[in-house]
Amino acid sequence: MGRIAALFILSAASVFTGAGTPAPGRSTPSDEVRDDITSTITTSDEAEIGAVVDAMYASISGPIGVPRDWQRFERAFTDAAQLIGYFSAPGEELVVRQWTPDVFREQIGPFLVETGVVETETRRSIQHFGHIAHVFSTYRAVFTDGEATSVTGINSFQLIKTERGWKIQSLIWQQAGEVLPLPREYAAETD
């Protein structure tokens, strides 16, 4: 069976079985997508995508004891957004965690305030087609809890253009380290 036929069968099966339909009360990206999109990204689109990514970084960053701007954080995401983190320490198994923006705020928010974390972007690459954009963003997170330790890694943002502008549909990240160093093409622009 050819690839086209297999894709058609899978698409038809999801329509007839209801697979892939959202849970009641949840919006999907297609519910809110604009219809006036072209295949070329404009300077204003690129600036808006950058502003959304910047808002996410700014909203989770701050010194010990300073509340985070969770309203700004939530405005950066769609209603159906997912955050997925890959974590490992040397000699340990890879652990994958997944959150909605609300659950991330509830579970990770207290740690950010207690530890003091300032996360900044050190390199950005934007790819765009029609309604979708992908941002590969190298980050450096500095923990301000007295030890001044830092970690680096990659944030992979998938965004869609909605009636309310560009929003993050998913954010996937993985921390770099001895076992998984940052490739040269993703290293900080200042390195």
pTM confidence score: 0.77
* Residue burial 14-41, b: 16+ Cβ < 10 Å; e: rest: eeeeeeeeeeeeeeebeebbeeebeeeb
- pLDDT the model gives residue 18: 39
Q: What pLDDT is attached to residue 177?
A: 86
| Structure-token match 């940052």, residue found | 182
Residue pLDDT, tens place only, 57-97: 999 999 999 999 999 999 999 999 999 999 877 778 889 99
Q: Is the pLDDT of residue 37 over 90?
A: no
- Beta strand pairing call for 77-87 and 165-175: parallel
Task: Give the count of alpha carbons within 13 A of 88, CB side only.
Answer: 15
**Beta-carbon contacts of residue 85 (< 8 Å; ≥ 6 apart):** 96, 97, 98, 172, 173, 174
109-166, pLDDT tens digit by residue? 999 999 999 999 999 999 999 899 999 999 999 998 877 689 999 999 999 999 999 9
Q: Which residue spans within the chain are E strands per DSSP?
A: 77-87, 95-99, 117-129, 132-143, 150-162, 165-175
- Least Cα distance to 117 among 97, 91, 143 occurs for 143
Q: Which of 28-32, 101-105, 185-189 has the lowest mean pLDDT?
A: 28-32
Percent of the chain with pLDDT over 70: 77
pLDDT confidence of residue 31: 43
- Confirm if 176 and 156 have CB atoms less than 8 A apart: no
Q: Select, from the ranges 21-25, 27-31, 179-183, the one with the highest average predicted confidence (pLDDT).
A: 179-183
Does the pLDDT at position 17 exceed 50?
Answer: no
Residue-level pLDDT at 179: 83
If you average pLDDT over residues 48-53, what whole number do you get? 97
More reliable by pLDDT, 27 or 6: 27
- Bridge partners of 80, per DSSP, are none
